[in-house]
């Protein structure tokens, strides 16, 4: 038995048969087709991690808020701390504020991730600096549940400057946008509160997209591609 | 497992932070502040959060019966309603923590108001079904929904009085009706009762006054211990003569639903110690000064009398401290700003009159018929404790040639009075608007010439002068000359539309401190950082507009509120509008008085600058609405004069 297989069996063994069945029933991902922006279910997520290295660091908590039918449904909130037994105390604790003891009390990662994917359902993910969240989540799902993350991620850090060039924030961070729109953050660097404020930013961004005549996911994606090309040519000029 | 189930499971690991956070946000505002946790979380969990970009319509009449209850989480919503009678829109604003549309939701109908996002706005939207459930189960929420903003005003008053009562103790209110204050039925007799029998009855019943009534209990006269003293001093020996020959006829009467405040005011004004209390024409009781004092610490009448009889400037000076205490006590007992400024003005008038008398006793009375004039806030009867002198002298002379000589005789006295007033705490006017200034010690004719000049050549200086001198009245001396001067002023302003226009431009100069994006516009730097000026920015727009409209429409009153009343009677201002202006004006003034009280308690210099963030959310909201009324008033002036 290879080291990988042994590890695979170990991981699978932490799931009950019922949980394995739930894992099998997880909905398929949706693509960027002609779904209307006003109807599409978006899950705006944020993760707190042990660090910024997507190869090594681990997810500590996930917070997520649903944007659907053009509004945030306050009844659909997701918030979970992942159980991390041997979490080494490192400087990131100063940012996310999750103490090793709190991490040790969390939900076991396989169950937490299964619940999250189940809860998210057929959605498009939105996040600020989405590629980071996408990689962290993909690695966690691969390691813990041996599944491949196929969901589409849209990056608010791209959509916002694309739709609000006049804000002149460019590659600025979430805090810059929060300040620009005067949003109120309940607790910065808590996954749930960051997801909430990202979702409020998403409402603003999606409203702006509609006002510019962008009605479907595919159109939004096209605009993004065109914008990225423009950014690249600007960078080379 | 369903999504809800997964959600519930996730929810166990941490009580949803965003729900909690939203509840904490709402708790800063009524009625949410007073709702129980389970009701509030029920509300938040059933909300959705929506975003509206600036200019977007949130809710309009065409949408049909209202299906949601909205709470503004961030931003500003403007309600616009087309008023049939006027072409102007009637608008109002709704900001963070406020809700709409209550009336339409309760009436199960469409809204009559178009709600627009005045800036980028987030609203929490609660479905009607959840609103109905909350309405049924939460009393606080129901009260709020049914009574709307008026319940907020009640809360402000309750709050103000509560703090006040805590501060001073006591349970007496100036609003107590006379019916509640009268302890027993009045002691009366018929007009034919003998003096001896009447005094015997007063003695036996331990009362200081006897009311003389006819067969139908209508008061004909009053006989008091003071009258008895006079009778004895006059050497009357016939104790069998009928009382009606010795009584004071037609005693002053108030209806039984009048307030303690009314009674105190009447006693101060008239220097009387007894008031007949009537229902219809029938006498039901007598209220004595002592009845008022036994219940209150507000010894207004006593204070007024003490001022009028002060033997020296030093004695007067000591009494000024009592005025401060009185004002504190009045605010504490829930007096309105109108009542308080009225009292301050009255006591100041007494102080000024007594100062003049004392100065004349010392220097000798000049052999000139003169009237002491006051201008500005004193002229408008709107003084607070924070006040300086604005005064002048009007005298009578037979011929213009005589005037300089008479002035020379009056000026030393005027100088002395100005100095004495300064000693009393009425600081000398920096602009030298004082009677000791030879330019302001004028004959009636010279005053008329001066006013005519001010109106015909509208220089900025003259316009500024108009805002001071044209709010005038007399405090001491004969009043006929002042009344003629006022009529002269009105006739001249009415005839000069150019001057009216300049006054109108002037009235728009001070803009209420409201911005588009932030609640209040405050000073950005310096010692005045984060503050706004309640007087200059808040009250001045009302005062200037009222002066303009009054002078242009033959209204001789000098107080801002009286001017609005008179303008309503003349059909110049709509009565509802005037009501809103008065309420707003009063609220700003009250806020200012409370600020001054706080400052003097803290031993700080009095200032009109307030940090709006230091107010509680309710007061802040009403203050903002008050400033909005000032904006409306200015808009109507701009429309009227096509500016």
**CATH at A84:** 3.30.420.10
Does domain B299-495 fall under CATH 3.30.460.10? My reply is: yes
More confident residue, A146 or B8: A146
- Cβ distance of A182 and B125 shorter than 8 Å: no
What's the domain count of chain A?
1
The 3-state DSSP class for residue A126 equals: strand
CATH number of B496-643: 1.20.120.330
Nearest-10 crossing angle of helices A109-120, A17-24: 40
d(C-alpha B635, C-alpha B633), whole Å: 5
Write out the two tokens for A216: 């479907």
Q: How many CB pairs under 8 A join A and B?
A: 97
Whether B18 and A78 lie within 8 Å, measured CB to CB: no
Query: Using the beta-carbon criterion (under 8 Å), do B17 and A190 form an inter-chain contact?
Result: yes
Query: What is the CATH topology of the domain spanning B14-166?
Result: Jelly Rolls (2.60.120)
At residue B5, does pLDDT exceed 50? no
User: Which residues lie closer than 8 Å to A213 by C-beta, 6 or more apart?
Assistant: none
Amino acid B165: pLDDT: 41
What the block records as the tokens of B476 is: 């001491």
CB-CB neighbors (< 8 A) of B9 in chain A: 115
Query: Would you call B13 and A77 a contact, using CB atoms and an 8 Å cutoff?
Result: no
Secondary structure E strands in A39-149: 42-49, 59-68, 71-81, 124-127
Q: What is the mean pLDDT of residues B317-332?
A: 76
Average pLDDT, chain A: 86
To the nearest whole Å, the CA of A113 is away from the closest chain B CA by: 11
Domain carrying residue A48: 3-236
Q: Where are the domains of chain B?
A: 14-166, 184-295, 299-495, 496-643
pLDDT greater than 90 at residue B344? no
Mean per-residue pLDDT of chain B: 83
How far, CA to CA in Å, does A216 sit from each of A29, A31, A72, B277? 17, 12, 19, 79
Residue of chain B whose alpha carbon sits nearest to that of A23? B1
Residues 6+ apart with CB under 8 A from B610: B531, B532, B534, B591, B592, B595
B330 or B94: which leads in pLDDT: B94
- What are the tens digits of pLDDT across the range B446-497? 999 999 999 988 788 888 888 889 999 999 999 999 999 999 999 999 999 9
CA dist A151 to A115, A124, A137, A170, B239, Å?
16, 6, 10, 26, 112
Residue B11: pLDDT band with limits 50, 70, 90:
very low
Q: Give A-chain residues touching B124 at CB under 8 angstroms.
A: 74
pLDDT at residue B172, as a whole number? 45
For residue B408, is pLDDT > 60? yes
Q: By CB neighbour count within 10 A (0-12 exposed, 13-18 middle, 19+ buried), where does B182 fall?
A: middle
Residues of chain A neighbouring B6 (CB-CB closer than 8 A): 115, 118-119
Identify the contact set of chain A against chain B, taking CB-CB distances under 8 A.
22, 63, 65, 70-81, 106-107, 115-116, 118-119, 121, 181-184, 186-187, 190, 192-193, 195-196, 200, 203-204, 207-208, 211
Residue B643's pLDDT is 80
Which residues make beta-bridge pairs with B395? Answer: B370, B443
Give one DSSP letter per residue of B160-214, joined into a string.
HHHHHHHHH-----TT-BHHHH--SPPPEE-TTSBHHHHHHHHHHTT-SEEEEE-
For B51-88, the pLDDT digits (tens) are 999 999 999 888 888 899 999 999 989 888 765 444 44
In this predicted model, which residue has the larger pLDDT, A217 or B1? A217
Name the residue facing B10 among A74, A80, A200 (closest C-beta): A80
Can you tell me the distance from the alpha carbon of B405 to that of B408, in angstroms, rounded to the nearest whole number? Answer: 5
Q: Measuring CA to CA, which residue among B239, B359, B202, B224 is closest to residue B289?
A: B224
* ipTM at complex level: 0.86
d(CA B329, CA B151): 25
Contacts of A183 in chain B (CB under 8 A): 74
Q: Give the whole-angstrom CA distance, residue B542 versus residue B550.
A: 12
B586-641 pLDDT, tens per residue? 889 888 988 887 887 788 888 899 998 888 777 787 888 889 889 989 999 999 98
Instruction: Label residue B107 left, alpha or beta by phi (over 0 means left) and psi (-120 to 50 means alpha).
Output: alpha
Of the candidate ranges B244-248, B296-300, B305-309, B394-398, the one whose mean pLDDT is the lowest = B296-300
CATH fold of B184-295, please?
A: CBS-domain (3.10.580)
Query: What per-residue confidence (pLDDT) applies to B14?
Result: 42
- pLDDT grade for A7, boundaries at 50, 70 and 90: low
Interchain pair A80, B13: CB under 8 A: yes
- Whether A100 and A89 have beta carbons less than 8 Å apart is answered as yes
* Domain pair B14-166 / B496-643, same fold: no
Chain B residues in contact with A78 (beta carbon < 8 A)? 7, 10
Contact across the interface for A192 and B46, Cβ inside 8 Å: no
pLDDT at B300 over 90: no
pLDDT at B1 over 70: no
Q: Which residue in A72, A118, A184 is closest to B1 by CB distance? A: A118
- Estimate the crossing angle of helix B403-424 against helix B337-363, to 10 degrees: 120
Whole-number pLDDT of residue B489: 94
Q: Tell me: the pLDDT tens digits for B512-544?
A: 888 765 578 888 777 788 889 999 999 999 999
Give all strands of the β-sheet with B441-443 in edge-to-edge order. B441-443, B391-395, B370-374, B473-476
pLDDT at residue A63 is higher than 90: yes
Q: Do A77 and B3 touch (CB under 8 A)?
A: no
pLDDT value at residue A198: 95
**HSE-up of residue B133 (Cα within 13 Å, Cβ side):** 11
Contact indicator for A34, A173 with CB cutoff of 8 Å: no
Confidence of residue B151 (pLDDT cuts 50, 70, 90): very low
Q: Is the pLDDT of residue B90 over 70?
A: no
Q: Are residues A187 and B51, on separate chains, in Cβ contact within 8 Å?
A: no
DSSP secondary structure, B560-602, as one string: HHHHHHHHHHTTSS-HHHHHHHHHHHHHHHHHHHHHHHHHHHT
Residue contact A203–B122, C-beta within 8 A: yes
Of A22, A81, A181, the CB nearest to B120: A181
A193 vs B6, B17, B125: nearest CB: B17
Chain B residue with Cα closest to A211:
B53
């Amino acid at each position: 038995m290879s080291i990988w297989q042994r590890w695979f069996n170990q991981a699978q063994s932490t799931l009950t048969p019922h949980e394995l069945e739930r894992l099998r029933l997880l909905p398929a991902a949706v693509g960027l087709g002609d779904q209307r922006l006003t109807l599409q279910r978006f899950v705006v997520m944020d993760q707190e991690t042990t660090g910024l290295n997507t190869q090594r660091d681990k997810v500590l908590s996930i917070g997520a808020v649903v944007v659907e039918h053009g509004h945030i449904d306050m009844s659909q909130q997701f918030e979970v701390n992942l159980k991390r037994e041997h979490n080494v105390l490192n400087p990131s604790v100063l940012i996310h504020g999750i103490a090793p003891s709190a991490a040790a009390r969390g939900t076991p990662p396989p169950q937490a991730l299964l619940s999250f994917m189940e809860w998210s359902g057929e959605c498009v993910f939105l996040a600020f600096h989405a590629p980071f969240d996408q990689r962290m989540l993909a690695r966690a799902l691969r390691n813990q549940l041996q599944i491949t993350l196929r969901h589409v991620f849209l990056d608010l850090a791209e959509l916002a400057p694309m739709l609000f060039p006049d804000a002149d924030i460019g590659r600025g961070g979430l805090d810059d946008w929060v300040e620009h729109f005067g949003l109120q953050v309940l607790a910065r660097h808590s996954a749930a509160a960051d997801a909430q404020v990202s979702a409020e930013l998403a409402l603003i961004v999606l409203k702006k997209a509609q006002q510019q005549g962008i009605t479907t996911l595919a159109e939004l994606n096209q605009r993004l591609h065109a914008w990225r090309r423009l950014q690249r040519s600007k960078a080379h000029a | 497992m369903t999504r809800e189930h997964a959600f519930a499971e996730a929810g166990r690991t941490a009580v949803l932070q965003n729900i909690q956070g939203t509840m904490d946000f709402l708790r800063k505002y009524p009625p949410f502040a007073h709702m129980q946790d389970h009701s509030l979380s029920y509300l938040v969990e059933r909300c959705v959060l929506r975003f509206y970009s600036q200019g977007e319509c949130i809710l309009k009449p065409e949408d049909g019966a209202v299906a949601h209850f909205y709470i503004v989480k961030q931003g500003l919503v403007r309600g616009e309603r087309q008023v049939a009678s006027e072409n102007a829109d009637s608008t109002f604003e709704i900001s963070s923590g406020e809700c709409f549309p209550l009336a339409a939701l309760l009436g199960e109908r469409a809204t009559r108001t178009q709600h627009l996002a005045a800036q980028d706005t987030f609203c929490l939207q609660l479905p009607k079904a959840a609103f109905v459930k909350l309405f049924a189960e939460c009393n606080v929420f129901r009260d709020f929904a049914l009574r709307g903003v008026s319940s907020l005003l009640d809360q402000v008053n309750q709050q103000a009085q509560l703090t006040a009562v805590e501060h001073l103790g006591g349970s007496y209110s100036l609003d107590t009706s006379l019916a509640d204050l009268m302890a027993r039925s009045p002691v009366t007799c018929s007009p034919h009762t003998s003096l001896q029998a009447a005094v015997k009855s007063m003695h036996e019943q331990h009362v200081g006054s006897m009311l003389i009534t006819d067969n139908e209990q209508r008061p004909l006269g009053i006989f008091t211990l003071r009258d008895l003293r006079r009778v004895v001093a006059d050497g009357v020996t016939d104790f069998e003569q009928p009382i009606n020959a010795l009584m004071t006829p037609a005693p002053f009467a108030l209806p039984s639903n009048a307030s303690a405040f009314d009674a105190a005011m009447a006693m101060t004004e008239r220097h009387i110690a007894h008031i007949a209390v009537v229902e219809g024409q029938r006498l039901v009781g007598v209220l004595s000064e002592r009845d008022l004092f036994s219940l209150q610490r507000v010894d207004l009448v006593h204070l007024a009398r003490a001022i009028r009889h002060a033997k020296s400037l030093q004695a007067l000076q000591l009494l000024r401290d009592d005025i401060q205490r009185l004002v504190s006590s009045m605010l504490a007992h829930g007096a309105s700003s109108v009542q308080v400024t009225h009292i301050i003005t009255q006591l100041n008038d007494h102080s000024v009159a007594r100062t003049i008398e004392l100065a004349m006793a010392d220097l000798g009375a000049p052999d000139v018929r003169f009237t002491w004039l006051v201008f500005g806030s004193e002229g408008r009867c709107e003084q607070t404790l924070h006040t300086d002198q604005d005064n002048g002298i009007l005298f009578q002379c037979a011929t213009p040639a005589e005037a300089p000589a008479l002035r020379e005789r009056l000026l030393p006295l005027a100088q002395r009075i100005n100095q004495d007033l300064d000693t009393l705490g009425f600081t000398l006017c920096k602009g030298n608007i004082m009677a000791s200034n030879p330019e302001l010690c004028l004959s009636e004719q010279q005053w008329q010439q001066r006013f005519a000049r001010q109106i015909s050549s509208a220089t900025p200086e003259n316009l500024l002068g108009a805002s001071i001198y044209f709010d005038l009245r007399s405090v001491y001396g004969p009043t006929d000359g002042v009344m003629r001067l006022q009529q002269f002023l009105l006739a001249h302003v009415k005839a000069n539309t150019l001057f009216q226009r300049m006054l109108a431009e002037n009235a728009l100069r001070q803009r209420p401190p409201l911005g588009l994006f932030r609640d209040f516009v405050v000073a950005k730097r310096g010692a005045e950082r984060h503050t706004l000026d309640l007087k200059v920015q808040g009250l001045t727009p009302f005062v200037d507009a009222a002066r303009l409209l009054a002078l242009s429409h033959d209204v001789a009153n000098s107080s801002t509120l009286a001017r609005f009343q008179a303008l309503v009677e003349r059909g110049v201002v709509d009565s509802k509008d005037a009501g809103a202006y008065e309420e707003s004006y009063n609220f700003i003034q009250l806020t200012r008085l409370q600020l001054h009280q706080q400052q003097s308690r803290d031993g700080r210099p009095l200032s009109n600058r307030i940090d709006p963030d230091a107010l509680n959310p309710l007061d802040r909201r009403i203050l903002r609405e008050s400033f909005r009324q000032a904006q409306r008033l200015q808009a109507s002036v701009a429309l009227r004069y096509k500016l």
